[in-house]
């Protein structure tokens, strides 16, 4: 009962868990994985016979042939119910069950009675020169064949007897070896029990410590409630909020890009107008200079007149093709977008992100007092568990059980040497029996050896040699010892056979197939008033459905004492620890987690107005094709370098003079214009083109884009306004369930550890197996059965061996008289 009370603390943790069946663990996210430290026991629960195992199986097969009947459950129950164990009442049923054993025993008794009588009469008969006692051998034609057949038959029988004797030696040595190992097996079982007692307090402390670990896990979540609970709320809001904020952020970037593009476009237009004006002025100056040269008198005479005439038609193309003054200004749109950009829409978007990211800190700050109360509740539970563990005198109770085990161990240490002493007597007796049979078989072997090798087929019976005669004498000596000791050997065989066979069939075999335990579990059998004897014996309550077979099976599987012995019928856990009340207290404190998150505004009215103003800034109404068409023009109507090269070639055809120098000077001026004035114009055109492209892409369906963004913003804002509180409440409940789930998971594990793992009663089943399967059956019954099987086999074969030896001795011994023999060589 000490182990019953030692489990009281752990039972208290499982007050609300049903005691029927293995509990199902809840899949609590983040719950700890518990594993009770395993206890390793020394004693093996199986017993291996080793190399003699096949011999034991052979004997079992023989016993199944002799005794094929099943275990007599009903007969055993009747005998137990018969308090006086009067077997005469059921003698017929007993005889029918034991018919095989009885037949063998009766045959053995006939052997015991008849063999001495036959030996006595045989001896007296031979003394009267009868029964082969006359030293005279008659001549027969088949004498050599008979001699050989008799010798071969005796040799085979002696070999079979030798095999039986070897079985006897092996069984006798096995008994001695196994009995010597009994003390070691007993000590191993006691060490297992001691291990059980030693590990039980450690397992209890481990289970109690796991509550502290569970509490620390809960404390960790409570301390990080901002990141845990706030993170969950944040994770639910982000998928809704992030897309619209990203769209607004992209629109803020577009506003800045639009502003930059408009600024570039405006500045490009101004620089383009200035550069175009300067280009026109310089080109006009060069054109006027060329016209003046063409109007001079030098162009009237040949060959200059023809060259001047060829130059005059192309002069009209020397001018600018740009008309930038006709391009409209974008200053109004630029001013509008500049005002929109002053709102700094990007900072407003960051403020929306910050509002979502600050949710964990908000929750952390709002729940400081509630978390403190929850921790105090969990600490009080921890204190109750520690006080309970200290209030139960586990160490005192285990010390009492340890004293009992030590006393039992001391008793066995005192008695087991006596068992070994008795075994030495049995071992010595077994050796004597085996040596007696060995002596008889040795006489037969020596008789065959001397007879076969000393036999001279040419010698007559009266002239046989000494060696042959000695062989005959050895054979008769074996016959004499056989008659003298065979009945004594058979007495030993019959006694050991009856005992060993019944132990095997009535104890070992039914114990292995659990039918013996079924007998003990029969209601009202061991005690008429008790339906279940085991529960009545342990708890004085015979109505509890507890059977030997169920307890043995559970202990064999390594289940805990609590489940195997149904200790829930002894200890009322709810009286010591009300887990429902504790759960309610924790739940009440967790319900005080009232998290309040103020209304979340992703974008204020200023930001909304900026988006609307940007949508109506007019950039979508600009005629970008006009600007692009202007930027696609060449700055001049003709390629200045080509024009200059043509003019230079024609000027070189002129004779030296003022006209030629004037044209060459104009060529230089054209090339200078191309080098210095065209690049700024071209750069302005490129900048204008790039800005137009940017604005064209940004302004494409701009009102529709802004309208869509504002609609999404309104939808998300509506979701936040109406659902944030529900999300907070839902996630808060989930958080509370998670905290409670840690302890429920712990309690389920505690119950599983108590019923399945902790304080395993496996050493009890192992001790029973050691006593029955190990010592009684493996160490005693199996070697005993092998012993009578081998000795009985040799003793039974002694009968034909004696008969054959008597007949064979006539062919080896020297006779006193003989018939008139023909030439023996023909035989």
Three state DSSP letters for 389-447: HHHCCHHHHHHHHHHHHHHHHHHHHHHHHHHHHHHHHHHHHHHHHHHHHHHHHHHHHHH
Q: Work out the number of other CB atoms within 10 angstroms of the CB of residue 589.
A: 20
> Residue 273 region, left (φ>0) first, then alpha (ψ -120 to 50), else beta?
alpha
Q: Where are the beta strands (DSSP E) in 111-161?
A: 136-137
Whether a cis peptide bond, with omega within 30° of 0, leads into 303 is yes
Model pLDDT, residue 389: 54
Of the candidates 9, 44, 39, 193, the one whose C-alpha atom is nearest the C-alpha of residue 562 is: 9
Model pLDDT, residue 4: 35
Numbers of helices and strands, H then E, in the chain: 30, 2
pLDDT along the chain (827 residues), means of 10: 35 37 50 76 77 89 87 74 58 81 90 85 69 57 78 91 92 85 82 81 79 81 76 76 76 76 74 73 77 72 72 70 65 74 73 74 74 75 62 55 72 76 86 92 90 71 74 86 88 92 88 82 74 77 80 83 74 54 63 64 73 71 70 68 75 73 76 76 76 73 76 75 74 78 77 73 84 86 91 91 85 64 48
Residues 742 and 583: beta-carbon distance below 8 Å: no
Q: Where are the domains of the chain?
A: 50-213+393-522+762-826
Of the candidates 115, 694, 187, the one whose C-alpha atom is nearest the C-alpha of residue 413 is: 187
Angstrom distances, CA of residue 25 to CA of 203, 721, 751: 20, 39, 10
Residues 45 and 774: beta-carbon distance below 8 Å: no
Determine the Cα–Cα distance for residues 760 and 260; give it in Å rounded to an integer: 81
Model pLDDT, residue 791: 92
Of the candidates 289, 306, 352, the one whose C-alpha atom is nearest the C-alpha of residue 673 is: 289
Taking the alpha carbons at both ends of the chain, their separation in whole angstroms is: 88
Helix (H, G, I), strand (E, B) or coil at 560: strand
> Residue 633 region, left (φ>0) first, then alpha (ψ -120 to 50), else beta?
beta
Determine the Cα–Cα distance for residues 168 and 175; give it in Å rounded to an integer: 11
Residues 656 and 613: beta-carbon distance below 8 Å: no
Model pLDDT, residue 356: 73
pTM of the full structure:
0.64
Query: What is the phi/psi pair of residue 592, to 5°?
Result: -80, 0
């Amino acid at each position: 009962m000490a182990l019953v009370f030692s489990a009281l603390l752990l039972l208290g943790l499982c007050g609300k868990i049903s005691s029927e069946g293995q509990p199902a663990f809840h899949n609590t996210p983040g719950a700890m994985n518990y594993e009770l430290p395993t206890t390793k026991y020394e004693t093996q629960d199986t017993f291996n016979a080793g190399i003699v195992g096949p011999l034991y199986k052979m004997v079992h097969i023989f016993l199944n042939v002799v005794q094929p009947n099943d275990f007599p459950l009903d007969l055993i129950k009747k005998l137990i119910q018969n308090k006086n164990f009067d077997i005469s009442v059921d003698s017929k049923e007993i005889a029918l069950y034991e018919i095989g054993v009885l037949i063998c025993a009766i045959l053995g008794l006939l052997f015991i009675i008849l063999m001495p009588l036959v030996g006595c009469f045989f001896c007296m008969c031979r003394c009267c020169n009868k029964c082969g006692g006359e030293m005279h051998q008659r001549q027969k034609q088949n004498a050599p064949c008979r001699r050989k057949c008799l010798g071969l038959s005796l040799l085979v029988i002696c070999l079979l007897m030798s095999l039986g004797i070897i079985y006897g030696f092996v069984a006798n040595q096995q008994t001695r070896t196994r009995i010597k190992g009994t003390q070691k097996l007993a000590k191993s079982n006691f060490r297992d029990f001691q291990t059980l007692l030693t590990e039980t307090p450690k397992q209890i402390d481990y289970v109690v410590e796991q509550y502290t670990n569970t509490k620390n896990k809960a404390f960790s979540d409570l301390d990080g409630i901002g990141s845990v609970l706030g993170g969950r709320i944040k994770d639910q809001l982000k998928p809704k909020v992030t897309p619209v904020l990203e769209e607004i952020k992209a629109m803020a970037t577009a506003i800045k890009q639009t502003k930059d593009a408009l600024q570039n476009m405006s500045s490009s237009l101004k620089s383009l107008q200035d550069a175009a004006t300067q280009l026109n002025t310089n080109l006009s100056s060069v054109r006027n200079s060329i016209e003046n040269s063409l109007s001079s008198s030098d162009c009237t005479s040949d060959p200059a007149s023809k060259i001047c005439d060829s130059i005059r038609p192309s002069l009209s193309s020397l001018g600018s093709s740009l008309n930038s003054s006709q391009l409209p200004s974008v200053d109004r749109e630029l001013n509008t977008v500049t005002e929109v950009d002053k709102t700094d829409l990007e900072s407003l978007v960051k403020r929306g992100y910050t509002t979502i990211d600050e949710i964990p800190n908000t929750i952390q700050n709002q729940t400081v007092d509630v978390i403190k109360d929850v921790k105090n509740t969990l600490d009080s539970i921890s204190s109750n568990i520690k006080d309970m563990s200290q209030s139960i005198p586990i160490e005192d109770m285990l010390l009492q059980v340890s004293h009992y085990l030590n006393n039992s161990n001391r008793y066995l240490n005192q008695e087991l040497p006596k068992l070994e002493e008795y075994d030495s007597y049995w071992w010595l007796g077994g050796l004597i029996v085996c040596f007696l049979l060995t002596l008889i078989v040795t006489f037969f072997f020596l008789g065959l050896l001397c007879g076969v090798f000393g036999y001279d087929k040419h010698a007559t019976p009266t002239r046989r040699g000494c060696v042959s005669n000695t062989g005959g004498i050895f054979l008769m000596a074996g016959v004499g010892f056989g008659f003298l000791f065979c009945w004594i050997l058979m007495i030993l065989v019959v006694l050991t056979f009856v005992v060993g066979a019944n132990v095997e069939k009535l104890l070992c075999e039914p114990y292995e197939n659990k039918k013996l335990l079924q007998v003990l579990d029969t209601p009202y059998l061991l005690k008429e008033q008790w339906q279940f004897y085991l529960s009545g014996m342990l708890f004085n309550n015979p109505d509890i459905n507890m059977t030997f077979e169920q307890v043995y099976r559970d202990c064999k599987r390594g289940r805990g004492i609590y489940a195997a012995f149904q200790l829930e019928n002894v200890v009322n856990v709810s009286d010591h620890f009300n887990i429902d009340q504790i759960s309610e207290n924790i739940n009440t404190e967790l319900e005080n987690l009232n998290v309040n998150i103020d209304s979340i505004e992703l974008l204020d009215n200023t930001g909304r107005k900026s988006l609307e103003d940007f949508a109506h800034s007019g950039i979508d109404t600009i005629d970008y094709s006009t600007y692009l068409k202007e930027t696609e023009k060449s700055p001049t109507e003709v390629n200045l370098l080509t024009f200059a090269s043509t003019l230079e070639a024609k000027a070189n055809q002129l004779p030296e003079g003022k006209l030629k120098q004037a044209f060459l000077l104009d060529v230089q001026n054209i090339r200078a214009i191309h080098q210095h004035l065209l690049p700024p114009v071209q750069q302005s055109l490129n900048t204008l083109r790039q800005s137009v492209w940017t604005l064209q892409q940004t302004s494409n369906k701009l009102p529709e884009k802004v309208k869509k963004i504002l609609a999404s913003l309104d939808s998300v804002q509506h979701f936040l306004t109406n659902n944030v509180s529900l999300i907070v409440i839902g996630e808060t409940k989930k958080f509370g369930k998670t905290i409670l789930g840690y302890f429920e998971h712990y309690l389920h594990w505690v119950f599983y550890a108590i019923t399945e793992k902790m304080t395993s009663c496996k050493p009890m089943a192992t001790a029973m197996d050691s006593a029955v399967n190990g010592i009684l059956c493996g160490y005693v019954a199996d070697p005993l059965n092998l012993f009578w099987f081998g000795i009985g086999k040799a003793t039974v074969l002694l009968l034909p061996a004696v008969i054959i030896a008597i007949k064979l001795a006539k062919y080896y011994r020297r006779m006193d008289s003989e018939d008139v023999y023909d030439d023996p060589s023909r035989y």
